[in-house]
A = this chain, B = another copy of it.
């Protein structure tokens, strides 16, 4: 499915506005290295590719069929796939179980055909899949930046927003999977797959309901990579909306919460946590204990972080006398050394570097807050990155902040825009590596 070497786009279209065109174009423009077969009974050539009338007509092997034809034709396309020996399909088309009645019947038909031929289905009613490490954007928009996070989502928009943030911040992602109706492939199958995918470090999952709770917990427990979950429907009204959105059962939230705890799943409370936790877990090294030191140019920003850290079991240590003595030699006279180490407004990158280097033997992690337009912040962090784990917040630094943040993130160093978000990311790291 994800490392397909040949792909058919069934329902490829010459019309630029249609998904059957956009997906074909994204596969080509995304640099897919295998064979691409557009299928359309009425066209000869689309985007320079020879068009086939149906799957059966293709001479060579087809690893994956992406299906975008109207719902009533999908099951006959699956029949063709079966005859041709295509084992993997992604069905973009909507109009199945999510609309009830006739749609439900159509979806059951699909499943029968799939069962007959041993075909796996992602979808229907989904936004496709994109494995950047296989240059395979069978989805939209076109995103090609390779990263370490696999995004699995039951909402196209949540996944798109997540992917957009990954792209904007320069992290990219490993894979994007839109679950759709989960007629066949579900979250448990995908967790299992990504737990063995060498290009994925973190599995990020937006789901509205779990298909098989037992299977879900089993694969989650076995998965050695962090799984971050965002699951709405925590209120009664939210649950009702879940039902009408994806016909999922949100279930009792306390039960799901307990299941997450038992299976080592990290649960995000909102979209920003979902993104921040994933980014932190994918790119920040293991934090081995709860002793933290804060280096900052802003006392206020540090205190906002301290409240979050303290509430979640971190030990914001008091600076040992021995360390204080060392720090006195590299900091201005008016700096406050009590932790937060507050270099105050005239801090510069060199001071940060000295403090980080001197402090790292005394703690398990360092929270670095740049609270002013401090130039070359990125160089310092890069130089110190392979020592004690560092979590970076850059705030209140205007254009310099934007430039330095971009530099760091382009090197795979996460930067958080507020002290609370940086602190919360540290908390997620401790949840994963043990409190």
Contacts and interface: CB of A to CB of B under 8 A. Distances in A.
A371 B157 contact: yes
Contact of A396 (B158, B240, B241, B310): B158
Given A334-B94, A398-B141, A237 B300 contact: no
Interface in A127-152: 127, 141
Interface in A300-329: 300-304, 306-311, 316
A301 B395 contact: no
Contacts of A270: 304, 308, 418, 420
A336 B246 CA distance: 11
A244 B334 CA distance: 12
Given A245-B299, A300-B245, A336-B245, A235 B307 contact: yes
Nearest to A395: B161
A297 B208 CA distance: 17
A351 interface: no
A206 interface: yes
Interface string A321-347: 000000000000010101010101100
A338 B240 CA distance: 10
A304 B271 contact: yes
User: Range of interface residues on chain A?
Assistant: 35 or more
Contacts of A304: 158, 230, 232, 270-271
Nearest to A235: B310
A297 B396 contact: no
A246 to B, nearest CB: 7
A412 interface: no
A286 B310 CA distance: 37
Contact of A419 (B156, B271, B298): B271
B233 A420 contact: no
Nearest to A302: B241
A307 B234 contact: yes
Most chain B beta-carbon contacts within 10 A, residue among A94, A299, A302: A299
A70 interface: no
A34 interface: no
24 contacts: A99-B334, A141-B398, A153-B300, A155-B298, A156-B300, A156-B345, A156-B372, A157-B301, A158-B300, A158-B304, A159-B396, A160-B398, A161-B395, A164-B401, A234-B311, A235-B306, A237-B310, A237-B316, A241-B340, A242-B303, A245-B300, A270-B304, A271-B304, A272-B418
Given A158-B298, A233-B307, A272-B272, 20 more contacts: A141-B373, A156-B372, A157-B371, A158-B304, A160-B397, A161-B301, A161-B371, A234-B311, A238-B310, A241-B302, A241-B316, A241-B340, A242-B303, A244-B336, A245-B302, A270-B308, A270-B420, A271-B418, A271-B420, A272-B418
